[in-house]
Amino acid sequence: MERRSFIGTTVALGAAAFAAQAMADGGSASPASVLAVSNPDTLKLMAAVAAAAFDCEEKAAVCEQHCLEKLAAGDTAFAHCSTSVRQTQTLCRATGELATMKSVYTEGLLDVCARACDDCRAACEEHKAHWAHGMHLECKACAEACAALSEAVAALKAGWKLS
């Protein structure tokens, strides 16, 4: 699946989930009034998610490059990590961008972003035994960034309010 198609599908699914929730809540708000979050506490949590998402995306890019170098050298143990990292990068970017826009659609990506981060962290931790020896530290940094983003997402989910 192409990156743009994946992001578009993910955002569309989030939008559909949000619309369904709005309808369940009575659906009285006009579309223009619900496109941006205005609650100050939620906005602070969204800023934290955006910062953690962009940090995670950056660490994932470094990890992916490391994985690709290992794969090119014939070490197939990094195939799972590489795939997971690429997918997580895409979701981190989408979540960070929507959170930066104060978009209500951010809420629809929170669960899938956290799940991708948890899966990515697990894939990176497959190389954990080498970290003490100074090896595969790119995977360690990625796993730590994934954990931080998962925590930020959990805090936002717990404190989510539109206005």
28 has a pLDDT exceeding 60: no
**Separation between Cα atoms, residue 140 and residue 124, nearest integer Å:** 7
In a domain, 62, yes or no: yes
Residue 59 sits in a domain whose CATH number is 1.20.1270.360
CB 126, CB 135: distance < 8 Å: no
Residues 90-148 pLDDT 10s: 999 999 999 999 999 999 999 999 999 999 999 999 999 998 899 999 999 999 999 99
Q: Is residue 127 part of a domain?
A: yes
The answer to whether residue 163 is domain-embedded is no
Closest CA to 148 of 42, 48, 67: 48
Domain that holds residue 42: 3-13+38-158
In this structure, are residues 21 and 104 in contact, taking their beta carbons and an 8 Å threshold? no
Domain count, the chain: 1
38-91 pLDDT, tens digit per residue, is 999 999 999 999 999 999 999 999 999 999 999 999 999 999 999 999 999 999
The pair of structure tokens assigned to 158 is 């717990």
Kindly state whether residue 23 falls inside one of the protein's structural domains.
Answer: no
Does some domain include residue 137?
yes
Give a yes or no: residue 31 inside a domain.
no
What predicted TM-score, i.e. pTM, was given to this entire model? 0.79
Q: Which residue has the tokens 């994985």?
A: 67
DSSP for 74-112, written as a single string: T-GGGHHHHHHHHHHHHHHHHHHHHHHTTBTTHHHHHHH
CB 104 within 8 A of CB 18: yes
